[in-house]
Structure 1
Amino acid sequence: MTHDVLIIGGGSAGYAAARTARDEGANVGIIDHGPLGGLCILRGCMPTKTILRSSDIIALIKRANEFGLSSVSPKANLSAIIDRKARLIGEFADDRIQALKDSRFTLYEERARFVSPHEVQVGTQTLTAKAFIISTGSVVSRIPLPGLEEVGYITSDEALELRDLPESMIVLGGGAVAVELAQFFSRIGTKVTLIQRSRHIMSEGDEDLARPVEARFREEGMTVYTNTQLHRFTKNGTQKVAHFTHDGQEKTVMAEIILQALGRRPNIDGLHLEAAGIKTEKGRVVVDRTMRTNHPHIFAVGDVNGLHEIVHIAIEQGEIAGWNAMHANDSPRRYDDRLKTQVVFTDPQVASVGLSERECRRENISYMTASYPFNDHGKSMTLGETHGHVKLLADPLTGTLLGAHIVGPEAAELIHELIAVMYFYGTVHDLMRIPHYHPTLAEIITYPAEELLGRIPK
């Protein structure tokens, strides 16, 4: 065997798997053709959050009069925003590259492809291992819409490198990437039109979480079309034109640039999974809760298995696979999505943990729910951040929390109290017993908890 464990892909999931396997005594090889760093650092979480900080600040400055301050007319310098992003991302990437090149690993900066269930071709070498962990991430989906390829578009990859501010932009999609970038460009001066097929943006979640974000978008001047059907794309001079149906009416929208943000897909191109007999389904590598594929010595973690496109979950999956790869004869570690957490960094932010209402209905899980709005909460009113609400889902007999959802100010931070309570299988009783300082945003959690507490049978 060349190595005990071979990791294909050195992003967040792959590095977590490599580190864990190494700590369990493995001789670990990492294969990554580059650029090194992984999606989160190079083209995902970190660059988007960096540029969103700039648009959040400019949005606050524009509200100066609301807070009794002299108004100003701020202007965004997109090139300077991208320079700041590039500097920070360079630092983050350097740290990851240094970790990958640690002498305790063997790093192969080449492409890998399977030639059998026990061998991969890496450059001119054939490598073997006791276990393989596939962690190649995801790539932008190419959606076959009539005329779209001909008129041209950018994806999130190119959007993060733009230095000249577009005058107008059509954003296709309503997922996290689409809405975050749509609000960013809208806030710094681009006329943005967002077109979403489903009834509301962020369509995988409950509708009541999306509506406050849509309202904020429209207040800020963005045009938002939901419940649409895209027909075709044409050009009118230098302008790109989207033809679609909205609420039964034919519509056209024209813009300088189209941002295609219709999702991502597992990155399995070129891996020759068929040579190893690795089972896939709808383009994703099929795994069980131990992160094993249909071959017990081959694992797949992170975006490539299509379960969740979320970094902390990818890291958890990587750690599970790294441990299981070295303990084939022991009781395996398993992934449990009871505490699955997701955040969308729009303004207002959207954060969720556990079950949603639609999941409870789909799986016939009994629940009760209560919510409380930020526009009736003292601290959020003093901050001028009154969009959204907190919603709790609990077992109707015991009060055990099943899920929690926040759309509003600092939702990404506030959700962690609820994650902690759910980690310990806490109840609405616990939320009422935990001290909450006044005045804080966090104390809003106690209001829906109190309502639910009153519904539990004595």
Structure 2
Amino acid sequence: MEIEIKIPALSDTMKSGRITKWYVEEGQYVEKDSCLCDIAVNKVNFEVYSDYEGIISKIVCPAGSTVEPGDVIAIVTQSEEVKPSATQKEIKYEYKEYDLAVIGAGPGGYVAAIKAAKKGAKVALFEKDKLGGTCLNRGCIPTKAYARIAEVYDILKRSGEFGFDVKVNSFDYAKIVKRKNDIVGELTEGINALLKANGVDLFYAEAKVDKEKNVLFGENKIKAKNIIIATGSSPAELPIEGINSKNVMNSDVILEITSLPQSLCIIGGGVIGMEFAFIMNQFGVKVSVVEMMPDILPILDKEVSSFIRAIAQKRGIKIYTSSTVERIDEEENGGSIVTVKNGENIKRIYADKVFVSIGRKLNTDIGPIVELLDFEGKAIKVDEYMRTNVEGVYAVGDVTGKMMLAHVASAQGEVAVDNIFGESNTLDYMKIPAAVFTEPEIGYFGYTEEEARKKFKDIKVGRFNFEHNGRAKTYGETEGFAKVISNEKGEVVGVWVVGSGASELIHILSTACQEGVDAEALKKAVYAHPTRSETIMEAVKDIFGESVHKV
């Protein structure tokens, strides 16, 4: 008899997929549970297995074909009556026990899952959306893909400085978006491959945890000796009249637009808001930024924030600080009017689109176990080992309310796994670096200069400007400075770098300081010449008044 091999719904959101590879040929005998082919769905690869044995008499859809659930992809010929259709080789949803269940496959969750599996644990990983979480799909990677293209565009526009006569009058934004999507897709497939290689059982399902620490998904459940909550955060909604109008975008939506507005009003001058302000400005969009605090990037060192503000304004970005948005009104011509209040003054800003980049809400709706967990504000309370107050339950990433950064979530995931395995491990958050991808970039860790002056009896501050660095001059990127702060003990307690390559340079000192290296030892380090890292060297030496290239 002939049996049709049909495509099942391989994920909750599957509308179609593409066959990327066949593992069998026509005329080949296959056993039950043989892998037939790979299908890519939303940039994630799934393996399709057969529930039959028999001869592949026909491959209906060759590699490269686009298929939908229910489509026949192959014909198997056999002589016996057998049970129906091929399915994805998914985990059977009977009650199972695991060493570790991880809820959320973002940078905290998938790293924890892989690390635990490498240590020999039987791991279940749950994801209701896409592998990689916000960082990979709607955050770090997409925005940096855009930032890089904006950087290249800027270099092309000023190519005359380097002796070229290049005219760049336009760009194809749809291709820019495609490049971003391709990068995200490749990295997603990489995570999927790592999970498979390490034997992690991946469930595409929304998971909840009950008070008995069962992990529930749909009508199914599993039990795990330990649970890591890594459910992340989502864009917050503001109580502003008109916030839900058609022209208003959050950080998820703005990454998916395929054409640029002529003008954009950004509500929120924090990290995300200012990164997009520079990106859109480079692409020729008229940008306005509204920030409630007295300055943009309010959590950063004041000197750094003021420096970036001056550069932004020099490039034509309009900035309104100490201001709040009262309402957003749609115009008949399709744009919006953003009403902004500063004290008693009212200003109305016209923009084709409005981007809301204020705040994140923590995804702590994880089931009945929430009633047992202790909270600090809206964040799940954890100790230095990432343990909650419920035995065997850990939390990492944004839901802990610590540093809401992807690399911090990953580090917390590793700390949690180490402690699950009895290997004591903690993090010193003051020595973890962070980066802001404005133009120029910012890299930093530790205290701001203002905080350091309040906390310590005596501080010393070393500075060095990029304009005096030979390599920065060759790049044509001389804006910025490095600032190193030490306390009365000679410990480096804060480093702030704003300039070309700052996101990479910051690791020179953050790594050293994590290992307890003090300023006296750091000043003896020898740096290659000519490199931008010499700005760090000179700033450290300036603490002692020993910077050779500073007047």
Instruction: From 404, 417, 430, give the equivalent of 2:521.
Output: 430
In structure 1, what is the equivalent of residue 502 of structure 2?
411
Q: Secondary structure at the match of 2:442?
A: strand
CA distance in 2: counterparts of 1:347 and 1:59, whole angstroms: 10
**Residue 364 of structure 1: CA displacement?**
4.7
Contact (CA 8 Å) 2:110, 2:132: kept in 1 or not? Answer: no
Q: Which residue of 1 aligns with 2:441?
A: 349
Separation in 1, partners of 2:275, 2:206? 32
Structure 2 residue identity aligned to 1:441: R
Q: Which amino acid aligns with 1:336?
A: D
| Distance (whole Å) between structure 2 residues aligned to residue 274 and residue 311 of structure 1 | 25
TM-score by length of 1: 0.92
> Structure 1 stretch 410-419 or stretch 422-431: which is displaced more?
422-431
Matches within 5 A, 1:19-58: 19-58=114-153
1:335-368, Cα deviation, whole Å (9 max, x unpaired): 2213121100111100002222243245456422
- In the superposition, the TM-score normalised over structure 2's length comes to 0.77
SS of 1:346's partner is coil
Check the 8 A contact 1:289/1:336 in 2, yes or no: no
Give the whole-Å Cα distance in 1 for the aligned partners of 2:453 and 2:222.
48
Highest CA radius of gyration, 1 or 2? 2
Q: Does 1:448 align with 2:539?
A: yes
Give 1:265's match in structure 2, choosing from 361, 382, 392: 361
* Secondary structure in structure 1 of the residue aligned to 2:529: coil
CA contact (8 A) 2:108 2:396 kept: yes
Q: What's the counterpart of residue 176 of structure 1?
A: 271
Moved more, 252-261 or 203-212: 203-212
**Range with bigger deviation, 308-317 or 143-152:** 143-152
Cα distance change on mapping 1:103 and 1:207 into 2, 3 Å: closer
Residue pair 2:433, 2:507 contacting (<8 A) in 1 also: no
Instruction: State the alpha-carbon separation in 1 of the partners of residues 345 and 160 from structure 2.
Output: 39
Q: Secondary structure at the match of 2:150?
A: helix
1:393-430 Cα shifts (integer Å, max 9, x gaps): 1123x422112110111101111211232133223333
Q: State the Cα deviation string for residues 36-73 of structure 1 (Å, max 9, x = none).
A: 33222111111111111111111122223334433524
Structure 1 pair 179–253 and aligned structure 2 pair: CA distance change class (3 A): same
Cα distance in 1, alignment partners of residues 195 and 118 from structure 2: 14
Q: Distance in 2 between matches of 1:373 and 1:51?
A: 27
Alignment partner of 1:8 is 2:99: no
2:476 is aligned with 1:380: no
Residue pair 2:247, 2:352 contacting (<8 A) in 1 also: no
SS of residue in 2 equivalent to 1:149 = coil
Aligned to 1:106: 201
Assess if the C-alpha contact under 8 Å between 1:194 and 1:225 holds in 2: yes
Shift in alpha-carbon separation, 1:127–1:399, aligned structure 2, 3 A? same
Following superposition, the deviation at residue 151 of structure 1 comes to 5.9
Residue aligned with 1:148, SS: coil
One-letter identity of the residue aligned with 2:541: E
Partner of 2:484: 392
Contact 1:117 1:277 in 2 (8 A): no
Q: CA deviation at 1:227?
A: 2.1
Secondary structure in 2 aligned to 1:258? strand
Partner of 1:254: 350
State the Cα distance separating 1:220 from its structure 2 match: 2.0
**Cα contact 2:480–2:497 (8 A) shared by 1:** yes
Distance 2:506 2:414 in 1: 24
Aligned counterparts of 2:363 and 2:196: Cα–Cα separation in 1: 23
Q: How much has 1:312 moved relative to structure 2?
A: 1.6
Q: How does 1:267-282 map to 2 (within 5 A)?
A: 267-269=363-365, 271-274=366-369, 277-282=372-377
1-structure distance, mates of 2:516, 2:201: 41
More moved, 373-382 vs 220-229: 373-382
Task: State the secondary structure of the residue aligned to 2:178.
Answer: helix
- Secondary structure, aligned partner of 1:433: coil
The alpha carbon displacement at 1:259 in A equals: 0.6
1:88 is aligned to 2:183: yes
Runs of 5+ consecutive residues of structure 2 not aligned to the other structure: 1-95, 547-551
Contact preservation (8 Å) 2:114, 2:195? no
CA contact (8 A) 1:151 1:240 kept: no
Post-superposition offset of 1:94? 0.7
Range that drifts further, 58-67 or 11-20:
58-67
Identity of matched residues, %? 29
Farther-moved stretch of structure 1 (423-432 vs 2-11): 423-432
8 Å Cα contact 2:456/2:487 also seen in 1: no
* SS at 1:116 equivalent: coil
Deviation string 1:275-298 (CA, Å, 9 cap, x unpaired) is 551123332211111101111311
State which drifts further: 47-56 or 423-432.
423-432
Give the whole-Å Cα distance in 1 for the aligned partners of 2:227 and 2:161. 57
Q: What pairs up with 1:45-444 in 2 under 5 angstroms? A: 45-70=140-165, 72-102=167-197, 104-150=199-245, 152-237=247-332, 238-246=334-342, 249-269=345-365, 271-274=366-369, 277-327=372-422, 332-361=424-453, 363-364=455-456, 366-396=458-488, 398-444=489-535
Cα separation, 2, equivalents of 1:128 and 1:172: 44
Q: RMSD of the alignment, in Å?
A: 2.1
Question: Quick one: distance in 2 between partners of 1:103 and 1:414?
Answer: 33
SS in 1 for 2:130: coil
- Distance of 1:60 and 1:7 partners within structure 2: 43
**Per-residue deviation, 1:102:** 4.3
- TM-superposed CA distance for 1:387, in Å, is 1.8
User: C-alpha distance in 1, partners of 2:303/2:261?
Assistant: 32
